[in-house]
Amino acid sequence: MNAPKTTKTAIIVAGPTCSGKSALALDLARRFDGTVINADSMQVYRDLRILTARPDDADEAAVPHRLYGVLDAAVPGSVAWWRSEALREMDEAWAVGRMPILCGGTGMYLRALTDGLVEVPDPGDAARTEARGLAEEIGPEALHGRLMQVDPETASGLRPNDTQRISRAWEVWTGTGHGLAWWRSQPGLPPAPCRFVSVQLDPEREGLRRAIDVRFGQMLEAGALEEVSRLLERGLDPVLPAMRAHGVPELASVLRGEETLEEARKSAVLAIGRYTRRQATWFRHHALGKEGDAMISLRRYTHFAQDSESDYEKIENFISERVDAAALSS
């Protein structure tokens, strides 16, 4: 028996940093009359256009782009906030006959749509203040040790130097009486009411590392150091997500006179490379769509590259075979 048709379809373009997601999403948006919706947790911040490699003015003028640069750096984004905003943007795209194309490398954001989301209650200001204070006073590794004693299920899934996530886990346990892992096991919000067709970019490691190095150099030429200088002048809490974006801590050390620009560049490229390994591993173990509706491309996608043209044809054909034409007119 054939499965019933869904009336709405959305495309997902996912993969590690610098794999060519934005370029592919732009080309797909031109082909499928799409609206590109950001699914990158750092590209939501308007203060970091250069360092987060947000689409430029020409790209944003070519097709509609949504949820890029919509938050001030002082405001912490969250999975729940993004899910709500993404659903709204998807509905608006469908309403005008456009195809939502979700583009980004933040897997938890995308899974909040494909698999649903458990809403964690607000732990309260007191718990947040305590968590941030402890992270600054004793450091993330010591706080991770304390978390391991009271909430080992959550703590075991966190890196001991991940200040942001450890602080979040501590505030949730302190403010709600349960750990994040417990909350995530509870019934929550349902998946988005649509069919997802996903493309995951998974290029080989060495080529991706070279691309990261080249792009970070281009970011420096475009004014990344000045961008970080403006951010630091605001005196924001260093625990905020925007203050931990790739390149911000490294370039901040240059501005404080602790490192040379070349040293900071090497450190940033190394850190980004490590992050892309974690991203790639995560995506390999988490499907974004039902079986048969997801494909993997093993090359980095770039405009005008001969290999990319061939890959694009395969990707376009894969999507075309699965996109319900009625979804564009519903």
CA distance 170 to 172: 5
The pLDDT, as a whole number, for residue 311 is: 86
The predicted pLDDT at position 25 comes to 97
Residue ranges of domains in the chain, CATH in brackets: 9-117+190-207+279-328 (3.40.50.300), 125-184 (1.10.20.140)
- CA atoms in the 13 A half-sphere facing the CB of 111: 13
| Cα–Cα distance for residue pair 197/188, rounded to 1 Å | 23
- Whole-structure pTM value: 0.84
Could you tell me which residues come within 8 angstroms of residue 31 by beta carbon, excluding any fewer than 6 positions away? 316
What is the greatest pairwise CA distance in the chain? Answer: 67
Spatial CA neighbour of 78 closest among 12, 46, 122:
122
Segment 206-252, tens digit of pLDDT: 999 999 999 999 999 999 999 999 999 999 988 889 999 999 999 99
Q: Is the dihedral of CA 255, 167, 74, 190 positive or negative?
A: positive
Q: What is the pLDDT of residues 149-181, one digit of tens each?
A: 999 999 999 999 999 899 999 999 999 999 999
With a pLDDT cut of 90, the percent of the chain lying above it is 78
Residue matched to tokens 């499965």: 3
* Comparison of pLDDT for 125 and 101, the residue scoring more: 101
pLDDT of residue 128: 86
Distance CA(139)–CA(134), nearest Å, equals 7
pLDDT for 248: 98
Question: In Å, what is the CA distance from 243 to each residue of 72, 146, 237?
Answer: 11, 24, 8
